[in-house]
Chain A
Amino acid sequence: MNHDAYPDSYIRAILDGVKTIAMVGASPNWNRPSFFAMKYLQIKGYRVIPVNPAAVGQEILGERVYGSLAEVPGAIDMVDIFRNSEAAGPIADAAIEAGAKVVWMQLGVRNDAAAARGEQADLRVVMNRCPKIEYGRLNGELAWSGVNTGIISSKRRKQGA
């Protein structure tokens, strides 16, 4: 996968395919980017499980916080990484271990070696993107904010989805 320019179809297939997302680095502070993304993804119907060793035992947006990916009970479809690029390496490995199908690194987070290991293990990898922004872009919501979504169509589009 060319990690500089993802085709819309690649991102769309990921967002359509996953149901449970483990968010590593999820913050209980409401003004942090991870909180924004978690809240939005919940509104859109995803189950988001926060992982943050510093907040174990707390709840974020109604979900219990776990200390590591290994502690999360049940299947994880996607791991969304809100940590720096270096920390993303071992987290990606833990995601492979946990049987996730997708590793997603947030805006500003990129670790090509970890991406290669993930792809080697048949996971799909996205780096330096935000699922909230991508979801909004592909479903016509981002255009509500004056953004160049790159979507051209003469078809009536479904609103919000």
Chain B
Amino acid sequence: MNKPNGPYGFETLSIHAGAAPDPTTGARVTPIYQTTAFVFDDAEHAASLFNLQTWGYIYSRIGNPTVSVLEERIATLEGGRGAIATASGHAAQMLVAFSLMRAGDHLVAGNKLYGGSVTQFTRTFAKFGWDCTLVDPDEPLNFERAIRPETKAIFIEGLANPGGIVVDIEAVAAIAHRAGIPLIVDNTLATPYLCRPFEWGADIVVHSTTKYLSGHGNAMGGVVVDSGRFDWSQNDKFPNLAKPEPAYHGLTFHETFGDLALTAHGHAVGLRDLGACMAPMNAFLTITGSETLPLRMQRHVENAQCVAEFLESDPRVAWVSYAGLEANKYRALARKYLPKGAGAVFTFGVKGGYEVGRRVVEGCELFSHLANVGDTRSLIIHPASTTHRQLNETQQIAAGAGPDVVRLSIGLETVGDLIADLDQALAQASEQVKAAE
């Protein structure tokens, strides 16, 4: 009796999707298959596996049973067809670009992105001959204007890091589809609990699972999720998927695997040749984390809303950029795309600018000063000097990471304790600056 996904709720799928009891031992929790390779039945079986003529495991760089459970889990939560887990979020971005692009091709991305992604797209992708144009996502038509004949995808963060920014996913998807290219959404900060980009027309989702999906700040990881809806053969833009693949003896992925083309290519060519596979141990930690995703996200956004409201009403604070606040520029978009809450990563600026901001970061006792988001612990950082450091000042301001900006990632602690910690840090910082004057 196999029911389809439809009738099951998100909480049920968070715990059960992809994970059945171990066929051999009956172990209920997914075992950590800490092995590099898998035996073949005979030479013929080995040949069939290497030719992709049968399903099965060969070598953990291409596929591993613990990792596949996580892949199916996230594919299901996003409502996608399949997924490819990678060593990190950046590896996922690299892998999806590799499946879509060749040297001389072009990508259009929003300029409100995690700083590391801006650097990856504009500096490192250039070394592969992939050109990238960054545009302001507040005006979706900016994407249309930047598209060229050799453009192969649009990339956005739906809810952008460092914070408060929401992009009109549906409008950007329509622009991508008019140009015959897919929309890729980095859904790291929203997670499929708060937003499912495929429901708004996105074709591919990527995550840094390092963040909320694992959720405990203990495992690097990334994932590419394919909706299975993009027709790779509608034009001649995607030879990697729609034309015979020389690296697989002329196999054509789209014709052979249909709506699983990108999932198959990402494993059989992407992971095989780029090598950035997820470790089974990290997959295990991320599987465990994903089981409580709905509960954690509920509390993350509840806490974030309280902290944002506290800061907004505090006279020492100059501004707060959180799309959950009524006055926020992105409130209407957040209502549409993030009805359960506007995430838990956001930014604020203190009166007195950079110097006071720096002292607030250093003065916190509960908030950890480190470069991550999406942990059970609350985190604080000054993006301009850290996560967005490689950007020039214009890019920093465009990305919402100007010199006065402090970024928070609100954790699961008692919210009153978080507010008290920020309160004392703000008080200390203002006094120190006053004393120095």
Contact = CB atoms under 8 A, between A and B. Distances in A.
Interface of A: 7-9, 30-31, 33, 35-36, 39-40, 43, 107-108, 128, 130, 133, 136, 138, 140-159
Contacts of B260: 133, 145, 147
Contact of B17 (A31, A141, A144, A152): A152
Contact of B72 (A147, A153, A157): A147
Nearest to B12: A152
Q: Chain A's interface: helix, strand, loop or mixed, by majority?
A: loop
Contact of A156 (B20, B75, B267): B20
Contacts of B80: 148
Contact of A152 (B8, B54, B244, B255): B8
Given A108-B255, A152-B17, 13 more contacts: A31-B51, A39-B48, A43-B48, A107-B259, A136-B55, A141-B56, A143-B18, A145-B267, A147-B81, A152-B12, A153-B20, A155-B21, A156-B20
Given A43-B54, A150-B5, A155-B20, A145 B68 contact: yes
B68 A31 contact: no
A148 B55 contact: no
B231 to A, nearest CB: 10
B71 A157 contact: no
B142 to A, nearest CB: 33
Contacts of A40: 48, 53-54
Contact of A154 (B20, B54, B256): B20
Contacts of A136: 55
A26 to B, nearest CB: 14
Interface centre among A33, A152, A154, A157 (most CB of B within 10 A): A152
A84 B71 CA distance: 33
B249 A144 contact: no
Contacts of A151: 2, 20
A152 B251 contact: no
13 contacts: A40-B48, A128-B258, A143-B68, A144-B65, A144-B68, A145-B68, A146-B83, A148-B75, A150-B4, A151-B20, A152-B8, A154-B21, A156-B26
A40 B256 CA distance: 13
Nearest to B71: A146
Interface residues of B, number: 54
Interface centre among A7, A30, A31, A140 (most CB of B within 10 A): A31
A141 B258 CA distance: 17
B230 interface: no
B343 interface: no
Interface in B354-382: none
B20 A39 contact: no
Given A33-B256, A152-B8, A152-B12, A146 B267 contact: yes
A31 B251 CA distance: 5
A73 B57 CA distance: 38
A16 to B, nearest CB: 13
B93 interface: no
B5 A152 contact: yes
Contacts of B13: 152
B72 A143 contact: yes
B29 interface: no
B315 interface: no
B287 interface: no
B258 A130 contact: yes
Contacts of B84: 146
B63 A146 contact: yes
B263 A147 contact: yes
B54 A39 contact: yes
Contacts of A8: 2, 4
Contacts of A31: 51, 244, 248-251
Given A39-B48, A133-B257, A148 B20 contact: no
Contacts of B26: 156
A22 B77 CA distance: 38
A8 B5 CA distance: 11
B145 interface: no
A140 B68 CA distance: 11
A145 B82 contact: yes
A130 B81 CA distance: 15
B171 interface: no
Given A30-B51, A40-B54, A147-B75, A152 B16 contact: yes
A36 B53 contact: yes
A39 B251 CA distance: 15
